[in-house]
Structure 1
Amino acid sequence: MTPSRRIALIGNSLPRRCGIATFTTDLHRAISNSGQHPQASIVAMTDRNQAHDYPASVVLQVEDDNLQDYARVATALNAGRFDVVCLQHEFGIFGGDAGAYILELLTRLSMPVVTTLHTVLAKPSAIQRMVTEHVAEASAKVVVMAEKGRELLHGVYRVPQDKIEVIAHGIPDFPLVASDAAKARLGFSGRSVILTFGLLSPSKGIEVMIDAVPAILKRRPDAVYVVLGATHPNLVRNEGEAYREKLMARVRELGVENHVVFLDQFVDQATLLEFISMCDVYVTPYLNEAQMTSGTLAYSFGLGKPVVSTPYWHARELLAEGRGVLVPFGDAARIGTEIADLLTDDRRRQAMCERAYAASRPMTWQRTAERYMTIFEHARQGHRLKLIAQTAPAVIAPLCPAPPPPDMRLEHFLSMCDDTGLFQHAVHSVPDRAHGYCVDDNARALLLACALNGAGETSMPDGLTARFAAFVQHAWNPDTGRFRNFMGFNRTWLEPSGSEDSHGRTLWALGECTRSDASPSRRRWARALFAQALPAAAGFRSPRASAFTLLGLDGYCMAAPDDHRAQDVRRALAGQLLSILASVETPDWPWFEDGLAYDNARLPQALIVTGLATQTPVHIDAGLRSLRWLMTQQTAPAGHFRPVGTGGFGELRKPPHAFDQQPLEAAATIAACLAADRADKDAGWKTAATGAFSWFLGNNDLSVALADPETGCCRDGLHFDRANENCGGESVVSYLLALAEIRQLARADVNPPHPVALRAVVA
């Protein structure tokens, strides 16, 4: 494999003061100095209202609370043609709830991502779980620094075992030396030195160690406890030096001022190694078990220092088998006893030094960099193979079999209707009169009424269907030859004519009504109004308006086969869509436009149904080709359906955004896949359709059900961190239309049509 040459590390960076900054800087240095000589750069997360004098290795910065900055940097990384991105993940260094803003960057990257998780929680909140699962899903490999991390990732977050790598925290390659020379240089000659270093914060348990000092002095009167490190910047920002002052007050209260030294400084690596070299015992009295990684522990262990520590996860693994001493959380008496025992037993202390030093040799930064470089190459190779696979003519199927479809329940849909028609919006499940009505949603409601006329369904109340038809009729403006779209709650039209898309969608509803409405009189009405409104389609510039009209012509031409003008329009619009596709399509972008927007699957669906009806293979082939590609864009790495998110609308030739996801896209995809199944049997289209439907029921990025099968209610979509709790008209109709198609599919699978009948449908 050709080595990765351009590597971007995303994380905090020195001179910002924190453990992640130190780790990122050390890893960058180690990778840059590795035998393969890659070009490694850092993308630094910059905390709010702060400025840092970054070195030249930092090529980009992200303001942690600026969501747009994440998108900007993703674009820059893609343009820079980096081979791989290595993300240092810690919830607190990114913006948004539980650091969710980082997802905006990850979902836009075109290269593989290797993520190092510095924290893995055993009991995450809902948002922490969601963010962790999404980060893992977006990553080719996930690195943790302890076996406990592997256990939690697989058991709690469902990350596959083969995606997880355990690489110990790197350490400097420093010789095992006696402490006397360093003590002399630092002014601690003749003292037994106990050391803690790192940024001060209450979770570090320094107060517990201070309480242990009097007991240690009884057995080693020369002992001194050195606390090296500045107070954590976030703590200083919020409450100043109150925590440090509290610790110093406790020292005075115990009368051990001559035996506890606070060094309020953030030291460089060379100075830090000097301090570690001079200590006789290193102590980490942390208070929280859920500490997956401790750089201070790794460094001290790597220099062969005897360590006394509480049993947080990292320490429990690193110090096992006599490589250190573990004591209970918050137990000052036990900490004092164990440290005093080590300070008074030179032979035991020296043996522990040698065991720790020998065990730490695989942890040097050189060895760590070699492990990372190997993982980068596997990730890059796997990413290339994945891209090749995605260009193959196959439909990506969901991982889990689909459950039986729910019953058709119309309670919420009926609550969204009044004597005028279907309301546009809702506040939660309550209709929102402030936004009135639109012909788009009432046309969709008319389509639903037609869909419920299928075998096995309970038809919509006829009076309600008539209400939607009346809304469409009232929307027709003979003066403009177009349908109006938006109507206020006071039944006043807000425009003389609507958009091309709303006109095309209304033609679609009328065409379907012409074919399948239960009322012969209403079928005649729909046929007449369709014929009046069709001429406007000749001037359409919107590909979606043309697609909607073609879907309407599929129903209309079946019911009115003698209308040659309509057949001419159908040929013209289908040819127009083909021309649009031909003018934009490239091998890696077989699509009708330079970007992905809304109702995407209706474009290939229109070509497929038109090709089937007119027996035109070129239309079918173009529809199937573009739909196959769209399905690769709408499939998450884990295999579940992920509709094109609204956040990417307007971007040119970019992978779709993950959010916000809308029911409209799922409904369109289901219909398109079932149309494709009629043209291309045994290609997985049915499975793809049922996978898209499962998105409504919780098989999605947030594992949150959008639809309530008991009421037929459907939320308006998925944000990156939650569902949209409003349940508007478009959403409920999208869900019910999708449900009607899936129920029809389930019935057909139980009672498959006779081959002769099937050929008649295809023809």
Structure 2
Amino acid sequence: MTPLRRIAVIGNSLPRPCGIATYTTDLKNAISISRQDLETCIVAMTDRGQAYDYPPAVAFQIKDGNIEDYIRAADFLNAGRFDTVCLQHEFGIFGGEAGAHILVLLSRLALPVVTTFHTVLADPTPAQRTVMERIVEASVKVVVMAHKGRELLRDIYLVPDDKIEVIAHGIPDVAFATPDAAKAKLGFEQKSVILTFGLLSPNKGIEVMIDAMPSILKRCANAVYVVLGATHPNLVRNQGEAYRESLMARVRELGIDDHVVFFDRFADLATLLEFISMCDVYVTPYLNEAQMTSGTLAYSFGLGKPVVSTPYWHARELLADGCGVLVPFGDAAAIGNEIANLLTDDVRRQAMSRRAYAESRMMTWERVAERYLSVFENARHGHRLKVFARADRSLPEPRSPAPPDMQIGHFLSMCDDVGLFQHAVLSVPDRVHGYCVDDNARALLLACALNSPGEQPLSELLTSRFAAFVQHAWNPDTRQFRNFMGFNRTWLEDKGSEDSHGRTLWALGEAARKDTSPARRLWAAALFAQALSVAESFRSPRAWAFMLLGLDAYCAVAPDDIHAKEVRHSLAGRLMSCLASVETPDWVWFEEGLAYDNARLPQALILTGVATQTPQYLDGGLRSLRWLMTQQTSSAGHFRPVGTAGFGELRQPPHAFDQQPVEATATIAACLTAWRVDGDAEWKALATRAFGWFLGSNDLSVALVDPLTGSCRDGLHPDRANENRGGESVVCYLLGLAEMRQLARVNPILTRPTALRAVSA
């Protein structure tokens, strides 16, 4: 493989005044210096209403709220043939809910992404969690700057350990120096200087340090506290300088005006290094432990400064084993006591200073750049497979109606304290036919899908109800899932079909990856592993496909399960053998006939091909899905799912009726899966057409859904719609809707609102 030639870094950039801008600029410069033949540039995020005089290193600018800028940035990066993109992620710098606009860019990139997470939340909102998961999914590697970040990514977000790299925050490589020369230059001779620098905001705890000054002055009368930094721009935008003024008022109230100095500026690097050099003690009195990274802490530590800090995550790691001093959050007395101890003990202070400098040598930007370049090289080798199989773009970019709102009223009416009913008489739940694990597994999949940004998650009670149904369906005697249960809560069989078992494994895999409850994720993973072994003997290709869909999720959260990896290859190999034994130029399929949930077979191969880096799986999935779409498109150009009347016929064109929602939903998911790895916009057009079937773009021009309740008719007969609205139909519609709503969020320019055709009587 040729050496790396071009690297792009996405993030804020100087002269924008913020820590991410400083880090992005420093990282870009360090990489440039490390390899003279390496081209580097920055794609800079610009906040609302602002303009910056960016240097030439900024090759592209994205206004954070402008979707089209994200799209153009992706086109710029793809056209520029960059080897790797390094994304700097922090909540608050990208547009959209929880910064979801960045997904628009990532979804369009055809090159490997390495993401640096500056913050990893231990308790994210559903929207934050989904955005994080989508970014992880789009990234070949993710970087954090503290081992706590690795722990959270692994335990909270279920990121495989081998996907995570810990690279310390970079620091300037400057010679060790005592404070005297810098003090003389800055006018602080004969002073004991305590320093805090960075953008001012209430979470920094400056007021706590101010309250500590009187006790420090009692023991060290020449002490002065220097606060270097402008107020955070977002705070100025919303509140002006009220926070800074409140700090200054507190100083006056305590009568320590001569001992607290504010420098209201965003300092350049040279000025910053001078201020750090002159301090005797550096202090970070932050109020929140969930501070994954602190550039101010790293820089001060790297210049050999004794640090007194509250025990936020980064400080706990960096200052361990006597490299600094930790004090409780918000405790002015403790901060004052520890700082006074250091200022009055020259031997201890100087020893801590020399130790900090020695411990930080591996954090210099030169070393950090070396680590990043190694990660970039690995990312190129591990980049997900992309198959741009044909240049023909026969379908235009879809400009489709915006998908309807997510309404779950009918879905809720189809549930009781056991789970989801199978059938309905018109829109009334039909208790006669009870329940099945098939539909409750689909409902658990829906619960996972509704944890996406912009959606309202199902209630904890309802999600746990579906999980409980699946758990109760497990029969430890047969080691299979039962399927049908009567309304009297009596199981009607000892074990269900292979397909229902496979579908339940699929739901468990997704729950293990996407459920909002950590305990339920553990439950799902454990039951998945338990139920997988018996399924290895199954003979149904659809069961294999459902299991592969579940394995795609499960293997992401259990990367060390060797048995699961072996089963995944075995099942994919069986599907490929079926395809090889049946396929002819005009029948590119796995079986002699078409049946139900057809698109799940190629979808399973596509996902498995990407996950296992097996090109033949990916090619087989894309090839068979393209052929299937030729069979599911009417002469008028709309989507026509395989009709049930043709099930079992050998090598015959599919019958037009009866058409069922499960086919449309499977097709939407498979086509969008193909689009994400293939990059062909035709797949998005085909998914949009399949979803249009629900809305009335079908053989009868009849809408199957009621947009006010979210109900869905059970299908199309040759002359009418099936007016019953059962559990399978409503879940299939909502699953398809969730996919299209996510597509609209990452491609909003492709949608425009139009009226939804009313449901006919």
TM class by shorter chain equals 0.5 to 0.7
Residues 212 and 336 in structure 1, CA contact (< 8 A), matched pair in contact too: yes
Tell me which residue corresponds to 1:314.
Answer: 314
Is structure 2 residue 249 aligned with structure 1 residue 249? yes
Is structure 2 residue 669 aligned with structure 1 residue 644? no
Tell me which residue corresponds to 1:653.
Answer: 680
Aligned residue identity for 1:253: E
Q: C-alpha distance in 1, partners of 2:323/2:204? A: 21
Question: Are residues 589 and 60 of structure 1, via their aligned partners in 2, closer, same or farther at CA, if it must alter by over 3 Å?
Answer: farther
Match of 1:409 among 418, 422, 435: 422
Question: Are residues 150 and 10 of structure 1, via their aligned partners in 2, closer, same or farther at CA, if it must alter by over 3 Å?
Answer: same
CA shift, 1:414, in A, is 3.9
Residues 300-339 of structure 1: matches in 2 within 5 Å?
Answer: 300-339=300-339
Question: Are residues 415 and 8 of structure 1, via their aligned partners in 2, closer, same or farther at CA, if it must alter by over 3 Å?
Answer: farther
Residues 632 and 640 in structure 2, CA contact (< 8 A), matched pair in contact too: no
Is structure 2 residue 321 aligned with structure 1 residue 345? no
Structure 1: runs of 5 or more not aligned: 392-405, 417-455, 459-546, 548-553, 556-585, 621-632, 636-640, 668-706, 733-763
CA shift, 1:69, in A, is 1.7
Is structure 2 residue 92 aligned with structure 1 residue 92? yes
Residues 612-631 of structure 1: matches in 2 within 5 Å?
Answer: none
CA shift, 1:381, in A, is 1.1
Aligned residue identity for 2:368: T
Q: Deviations over 1:125-163 (max 9, x none)?
A: 111111111111110001000000000001000111110
Residues 667 and 690 in structure 2, CA contact (< 8 A), matched pair in contact too: no
Residues 216 and 340 in structure 1, CA contact (< 8 A), matched pair in contact too: yes
Residues 424 and 727 in structure 2, CA contact (< 8 A), matched pair in contact too: no
CA shift, 1:80, in A, is 1.3
Counterpart secondary structure, 1:308: strand
Aligned residue identity for 1:337: N
Q: C-alpha distance in 2, partners of 1:132/1:457? A: 37
Residues 100 and 131 in structure 2, CA contact (< 8 A), matched pair in contact too: yes
Q: Deviations over 1:642-669 (max 9, x none)?
A: 6528999xx99359669998984999xx
Residues 297 and 315 in structure 2, CA contact (< 8 A), matched pair in contact too: yes
Tell me which residue corresponds to 1:278.
Answer: 278
Aligned residue identity for 1:95: G
CA shift, 1:408, in A, is 7.5
Counterpart secondary structure, 1:409: strand
CA shift, 1:457, in A, is 11
Q: C-alpha distance in 2, partners of 1:665/1:155? A: 39
Tell me which residue corresponds to 1:138.
Answer: 138
CA shift, 1:411, in A, is 2.5
CA shift, 1:717, in A, is 1.2
Q: C-alpha distance in 2, partners of 1:412/1:131? A: 39
Counterpart secondary structure, 1:40: strand
- TM-score, normalised to structure 1, is 0.58
Question: Are residues 720 and 28 of structure 1, via their aligned partners in 2, closer, same or farther at CA, if it must alter by over 3 Å?
Answer: farther
Residues 175-186 of structure 1: matches in 2 within 5 Å?
Answer: 175-186=175-186
Q: C-alpha distance in 2, partners of 1:387/1:67? A: 24
CA shift, 1:354, in A, is 1.1
Aligned residue identity for 1:316: R
Residues 219-298 of structure 1: matches in 2 within 5 Å?
Answer: 219-298=219-298
Tell me which residue corresponds to 2:205.
Answer: 205
Residues 90 and 119 in structure 2, CA contact (< 8 A), matched pair in contact too: yes
Aligned residue identity for 2:423: L
CA shift, 1:731, in A, is 14
Counterpart secondary structure, 2:267: coil
Q: C-alpha distance in 1, partners of 2:295/2:89? A: 15
- TM-score, normalised to structure 2, is 0.58
Tell me which residue corresponds to 2:80.
Answer: 80
Q: C-alpha distance in 2, partners of 1:259/1:658? A: 67
Is structure 2 residue 22 aligned with structure 1 residue 22? yes
Q: C-alpha distance in 2, partners of 1:305/1:215? A: 22
Residues 287 and 329 in structure 1, CA contact (< 8 A), matched pair in contact too: yes
CA shift, 1:597, in A, is 12
Residues 178 and 277 in structure 2, CA contact (< 8 A), matched pair in contact too: yes
Is structure 2 residue 164 aligned with structure 1 residue 170? no
Tell me which residue corresponds to 1:494.
Answer: none
Residues 407 and 709 in structure 1, CA contact (< 8 A), matched pair in contact too: no
Q: C-alpha distance in 1, partners of 2:204/2:296? A: 11
Tell me which residue corresponds to 1:156.
Answer: 156
Structure 2: runs of 5 or more not aligned: 391-418, 430-482, 486-585, 587-592, 595-618, 655-665, 695-725, 745-754
CA shift, 1:412, in A, is 8.1
Tell me which residue corresponds to 2:60.
Answer: 60
Question: Are residues 10 and 600 of structure 1, via their aligned partners in 2, closer, same or farther at CA, if it must alter by over 3 Å?
Answer: farther
Q: C-alpha distance in 2, partners of 1:158/1:379? A: 20
Match of 1:717 among 737, 745, 749: 737
Q: Deviations over 1:73-124 (max 9, x none)?
A: 1122111111111000011000111111111111111001000000001111
Q: C-alpha distance in 2, partners of 1:660/1:603? A: 9
Tell me which residue corresponds to 2:448.
Answer: none
Q: Percentage identity across aligned positions?
A: 60
Residues 192 and 279 in structure 1, CA contact (< 8 A), matched pair in contact too: yes
Aligned residue identity for 1:653: D
Q: CA RMSD in A?
A: 4.7
Aligned residue identity for 2:252: R
Residues 141 and 379 in structure 2, CA contact (< 8 A), matched pair in contact too: yes
CA shift, 1:324, in A, is 0.3
CA shift, 1:68, in A, is 2.1
Tell me which residue corresponds to 1:4.
Answer: 4
Question: Are residues 118 and 661 of structure 1, via their aligned partners in 2, closer, same or farther at CA, if it must alter by over 3 Å?
Answer: farther
Q: C-alpha distance in 2, partners of 1:92/1:191? A: 39
Q: C-alpha distance in 2, partners of 1:284/1:80? A: 42
Residues 282 and 300 in structure 1, CA contact (< 8 A), matched pair in contact too: yes
Residues 526-605 of structure 1: matches in 2 within 5 Å?
Answer: none
Q: C-alpha distance in 2, partners of 1:390/1:297? A: 50
Question: Are residues 713 and 163 of structure 1, via their aligned partners in 2, closer, same or farther at CA, if it must alter by over 3 Å?
Answer: closer
CA shift, 1:603, in A, is 8.9
Residues 691 and 737 in structure 2, CA contact (< 8 A), matched pair in contact too: no
Counterpart secondary structure, 1:30: helix
Q: C-alpha distance in 2, partners of 1:37/1:647? A: 35
Q: C-alpha distance in 1, partners of 2:120/2:54? A: 29
Counterpart secondary structure, 1:33: helix
Q: C-alpha distance in 2, partners of 1:294/1:259? A: 26
Tell me which residue corresponds to 1:510.
Answer: none
Q: C-alpha distance in 2, partners of 1:597/1:45? A: 42
Question: Are residues 195 and 589 of structure 1, via their aligned partners in 2, closer, same or farther at CA, if it must alter by over 3 Å?
Answer: same
Question: Are residues 199 and 413 of structure 1, via their aligned partners in 2, closer, same or farther at CA, if it must alter by over 3 Å?
Answer: farther
Residues 142 and 163 in structure 2, CA contact (< 8 A), matched pair in contact too: yes
Q: C-alpha distance in 2, partners of 1:709/1:354? A: 68
Kindly tell me the number of residue pairs found equivalent between the two proteins. Answer: 496
Q: C-alpha distance in 2, partners of 1:378/1:6? A: 15
Counterpart secondary structure, 2:672: coil
Tell me which residue corresponds to 2:552.
Answer: none
CA shift, 1:66, in A, is 1.2
Is structure 2 residue 367 aligned with structure 1 residue 367? yes
Q: C-alpha distance in 1, partners of 2:199/2:357? A: 25
Tell me which residue corresponds to 1:527.
Answer: none
